[in-house]
Every structure is written in structure tokens, then in C-alpha cells.
Amino acid sequence: MKYIDMLSKLGAGSAHPGGFRATLRQLRKYPLPPNSRVLEVGCGTGRTACYLAAWGYRVTAVDLHRGMLDKAERRAAGMGVQIEFVHADACALPFPDESFDTVMAESVTNFTEASIALTQYRRVLKSSGVLFDRELMLHKPLPEANLKELREFFGMAQLLLPEQWERLLAAGSFQQAEIVDYQPFTEHNAYAQMLDEDPLAFKDEDVFSDSVIWQTALLHNQMIFHYADSLSFGIIRAVKS
């Protein structure tokens, strides 16, 4: 079973580093201007998108995984919020240039061709618009065989060092770009995403009887702890000039 399919079946709302608590800390530290038009790329089951919509932001949310979008739509209906959900690829966003004040991504760009996705994020941002992209990163270089093992398990197109991200951002013509709230993964509670109750996590009906799901979840935990010393995470904050 693919990692992303496991998350969909579990109805995971916040599988990114730090979980939903990290999202809330980010929004407190970097508040979005009132009435912003926000694009969430890779919205998953919609937890962040619905939270932003409940606070009055105009939210568009895209995901390539149809199962994730179905659950995001159910979450929005359950919360009574209005969101434009779109089935789309981060590398081919179906929106006009300069459509959004903010683009948000949470552990998404690693799963795309990052250089193309960053170009798309910048294209759809308005002038002075801001990208916030929380990503798992390498804290130190890994042998190619180990890097391949991580990428293949997660289905990532790349897993990069902070300086590699900085070069990609510069090549993508973001004039103001930085990695903030950076920390080695060893300082992070790997179970943070399990600490937040999510009453609208719609699990598949067979989730408790499907042993493959739990085998994949166990392998995920083993991989994370095995490579914890080599991993880190941070928020890419980039402004379109």
C-alpha cells in the first residue's frame, strides 16, 4: 500500500511534521491578512482549509488524490463552511496568474517536481503574496541508497537539504525567501499529529480489519525513527515581489 493511500484510508487530517498544533502555531506567528484569498495546495482531508474558512478566509483547496478530496468535502459540509475544492496537480494549477494572496502547503511539495510546483505557486500569487510551505527536510546528507529508501516509501520526488530548497526558491524567482522555524527532527515529538483530536476524520469502513494499513503505518514509524537523526523540518516562507 502506498503511504498516501494509507493516510486517505485513515482520514488523516494533519500528517505533516508537527501535526495540526504546528499549523495553529504557524498561523498565530504569521497571521494571514483579513479576507485573504487563500489557496491550499495538497489539502488532504481538508482540516487546515476548513479551519481557515471557518475564520472567514476565502479558501480554494486542491488535491490530486480523489479519496482525500471526497473526505475534505465531507469535512466542509460537516463544519458548514464554503470552500472551492478542485481536483488538480500542484504542477499544473488551473488558476489564472495572480489569483491568491496566500499559498499554503503542508508536506506536499516534496511529493511533486518541486521546481515546477514552486513556479506554479509563484505564478498564482498576487504581487506581495506569500507562500508558506511546511516540508520535511534532510538535516544532513544521506547515502544515496538510504535516500532512495525514504523517497520510495513516502512516494517523494525529492527530499532536500535546506540549502537545496534555498537554491530552488532563488531559481523560481522568489525575491524574498527564507526557511523559518527550522528544527532537527530529533527535537520533534514524532507523535504530535496523534495528540490532536479530529472529530471529522472520516476513516474507511474496513480500516480496522485491513492489516495492510497497519503494516504500512508500522513501517512508517520504523522509517521515521530509524532516520530521525538525518531529518528536519521547517517552513518555507517566500514573498512574491
CB atoms within 10 A of CB 24: 15
Beta strands in 123-220 (DSSP E): 125-138, 176-184
pLDDT value at residue 219: 92
Q: What is the pTM of this model?
A: 0.94
Mean pLDDT computed over every residue of the chain:
92
Mean pLDDT of 213-220: 90
Task: For residue 235, give the 3-state DSSP assignment.
Answer: strand
Grid coordinates representing 178 are 527564507
Residue 108: is its pLDDT beyond 80?
yes
Question: Would you tell me which CATH number, out of the four given (3.40.50.150, 3.40.50.1110, 3.30.1240.10, 1.10.3470.10), belongs to the domain 3-239?
Answer: 3.40.50.150
Span 55-81, pLDDT tens digits: 999 999 999 999 999 999 999 999 999
Q: Are 129 and 240 in contact (CB under 8 A)?
A: yes
Q: Are 86 and 61 in contact (CB under 8 A)?
A: yes
What is the residue extent of each domain of the chain? Answer: 3-239
**Phi/psi at 239 (5° precision):** -110, 135
Range scoring the smallest mean pLDDT among 90-94, 104-108, 188-192: 188-192
- Between the alpha carbon of residue 22 and those of residues 18, 25, 107, 157, 211, the distances in Å are 5, 5, 12, 24, 30
pLDDT band at 85 (very low <50, low <70, confident <90, very high): very high
Residue of 241 and 179 predicted with greater confidence:
179
- Between the alpha carbon of residue 11 and those of residues 51, 89, 111, 139, 183, the distances in Å are 16, 20, 19, 29, 27
